[in-house]
Amino acid sequence: YQAKRQKLSVCVFEPWMGRVVAEQLNIAKRLASAIAEKQLSLHFQPQVDLESGQLIGAEALCRWHDKELGDVSPGKFIPIAEERGMIVALGNWVIEEACRQLAEWRDQGHFMAGQLAINIAAQQFEEEDLVESLLNSCSCFGIEPSQLSLEITESGIMDNPEKAIAMTEVLKGKGLGLSIDDFGTGYSSLAYLKRFAADKIKIDISFVRDMLTSDNDRVIVATIIAMANTLGLETIAEGIEQQDQITALLAMGCTQGQGYYFDRPLGAEQFVQRWL
């Protein structure tokens, strides 16, 4: 005991630390009830063919408006959901709602080209139940699994690469699409990448944002595209805000994009009006 005690480091507790913890707890509590009461919503951002500007799919992005906290960004509440064991429940709601929305559009006579992409957190990807949740929601709303595509981050895959590889095989067998999100920000090994049954790489927003001003970022983007082409993977650039980025991306061989230049993530009705 004495030996253990000497190894303990001094921990300074400042008042602001207490406030941060209290704020997080409050957000977590409210988020838990928002999930249970289905108070989240989905927005949809178009994905386009860079040459023609035609719609090739959309990404579903989770939104939360809380009475007390106002709009909370997913950049804030998704990590909290991950840390506090709520991400699987949240993710299952997203899957169900995405399928419900596709069915509603179909029933209204709107055709959505391509696939609807859903973000899947690493913890969801490690759950055996993921496949069942996806297939259940699909059959419940009469949606083909091939109408969906899953986005998992590069770092999410590297959490447990062997398990991720096995999961992708199963999902691919069921016809779902699979993209590696935020590519370039993690540390994936090319050996894993080759075994991972993805069909698309999403070039991270940070490289796309700086590719016109930074030689490094331009070279990284070009290298990712060349590597993807070699491995037979499609590429899509996230965060396109200017025409010049499109010109540069096309010259490098990337033909798909997403970003404010085309449209922001939109509520379902606005998405239908503008894109379907």
Q: Which of 61, 138, 203, 248 binds ligand C2E (CB under 6 A)?
A: 61
Does the protein bind ligand C2E through residue 75 (CB under 6 A)?
A: yes
Query: If you compute the radius of gyration of the chain from its CA atoms, what whole number of angstroms results?
Result: 20
The residues that bridge with 142 in the sheet, in sequence order, are none
CB of 82 to ligand C2E, least distance (A): 8
* 151 forms part of the interface with Mg ion (CB under 5 A): yes
Please identify, among the stretches 20-28, 139-147, 214-222, 238-246, the one whose residues bind Mg ion according to the rule CB under 5 A: 238-246
* Three-state SS annotation for the chain: CHHHHHHCCCCCCCHHHHHHHHHHHHHHHHHHHHHHCCCEEEEEEEEEECCCCCEEEEEEEEEEEECCCEEECHHHHHHHHHHCCCHHHHHHHHHHHHHHHHHHHHHCCCCCCCEEEEECCHHHHCCCHHHHHHHHHHHHHCCCHHHEEEEEEHHHHHHCHHHHHHHHHHHHHCCCEEEEEEECCCCCCHHHHHHCCCCEEEECHHHHHHCCCCHHHHHHHHHHHHHHHHHCCEEEECCCCCHHHHHHHHHHCCCEECCCCCCCCECHHHHHHHHC
Given 119, 149, 235, 245, the residue binding ligand C2E (CB under 6 A): 119
Does 154 bind ligand C2E (CB under 6 A)? Our answer is no
169 part of the interface to ligand C2E, by CB under 6 A: no
Q: Residue 179 binds which entry of Mg ion, ligand C2E, none, with Cβ cut-offs from 5 to 8 Å by kind?
A: none
Of residues 74, 174, 229, 276, which one binds ligand C2E by CB under 6 A?
Answer: 74
**179 near Mg ion (CB under 5 A):** no
Binding mask 4-23 for ligand C2E (x = CB under 6 A): --------------------
217 sits near ligand C2E (criterion: CB under 6 A): no
Please select the residue that binds Mg ion; options are 82, 96, 154, 182, rule is CB under 5 A. Answer: 182
Q: What does the longest C-alpha to C-alpha distance in the chain come to?
A: 73
**234 has which bridge partners?**
200
263 binds, among Mg ion, ligand C2E, none (CB under 5 to 8 A by kind): none
Establish if 186 lies at the interface with ligand C2E (CB under 6 A): no
Asked whether position 246 contacts ligand C2E by CB under 6 A, the answer is no
Least distance in angstroms from the C-beta of 205 to ligand C2E: 6
Contact residues: Mg ion, CB under 5 A: 119, 151, 181-182, 238
